[in-house]
Amino acid sequence: MTTNPAQRVALVSGGNRGLGLAVATRLAEQGMHVVLGVRDRLAGQEAERALASKGLAVHSHELNVTDPASVARAVADVGAELGRLDVLINNAAVAVDRHQAATAPDFERVRVTLDTNLLGAWRLAAAAVPEMRRNGYGRIVNITSHLGSQSNMGTGNVSYRVSKAGLNALTQILAAELTGTGILVNAASPGRTNTRMAYGETDRTPDEAADTPVWLATLPDDGPTGGLFYEREPLGW
């Protein structure tokens, strides 16, 4: 694979559809080489072809964030094939417990949700940091949700809420650990976006929701410090 060694490289998990695809498109339009992390190889190739037809530098790579070997392989391949990894968008997530109560949990759904939304993002971040350290630069953006906000905590979607609240805490911890390294870690809540996880309760398109994650992914070195949470409609944390 031939690339410009000075071209920034971004990895977007869940990058073949919805918000992930919108973010990947915008980053590629800004001149980055974007790797679409996908569970379905054929779906990834379809998204890759669609973006490549627009002249954008993209390719897809199989990535299952719940599989440590898959995560390690994807990040290692990006480093080996493209020579660097500058941006990680932790977008892959599931929402499978809309009506679940904390007092009557389906722990299999809890496990699946935490393994994807929290541990999946954690696995990817831990794997990406060594690659970012090589160049003293990195931007990690965790896609969170208003449902994980402490000031907005309530009933329903219990494992999803817990997973995103945990992701918010992880964001702050990683940002603190990486202070002074050139790697910034932030979280963005895109709001009620029209994706398959939204159950029809939406007020913006994926392209509209991509604004904040893309902004965080391209923060200048003298921009805001890491560890902060951003929403289109601030709710407080």
Condensed to tens digits (0 to 9), the pLDDT of residues 80-137 reads 999 999 999 999 999 888 788 899 999 999 999 999 999 999 999 999 999 999 999 9
Q: Which of 137, 160, 199, 230 is catalytic?
A: 160
Is 160 in the active site?
yes
Contact 157, 112 (CB under 8 A): no
Residue 193 bridge partners (DSSP): 204
Cβ contact 97:109 at 8 Å: yes
Mean pLDDT in residue range 174-185: 96
Q: What is the pLDDT of residues 39-89, one digit of tens each?
A: 999 999 999 999 999 999 999 999 999 999 999 999 999 999 999 999 999
**Which pLDDT score, from 0 to 100, does residue 91 have?**
97
d(C-alpha 34, C-alpha 80), whole Å: 15
Instruction: Give which of 214, 212, 216 is closest to 227, Cα–Cα.
Output: 216
Q: Which CATH number fits domain 9-231: 1.10.3720.10, 3.40.50.720, 3.30.110.40, 3.40.50.150?
A: 3.40.50.720
**194-217: per-residue pLDDT in tens?**
555 554 556 668 888 898 999 999
Half-sphere exposure (Cβ direction) of 92: Cα atoms closer than 13 Å: 31
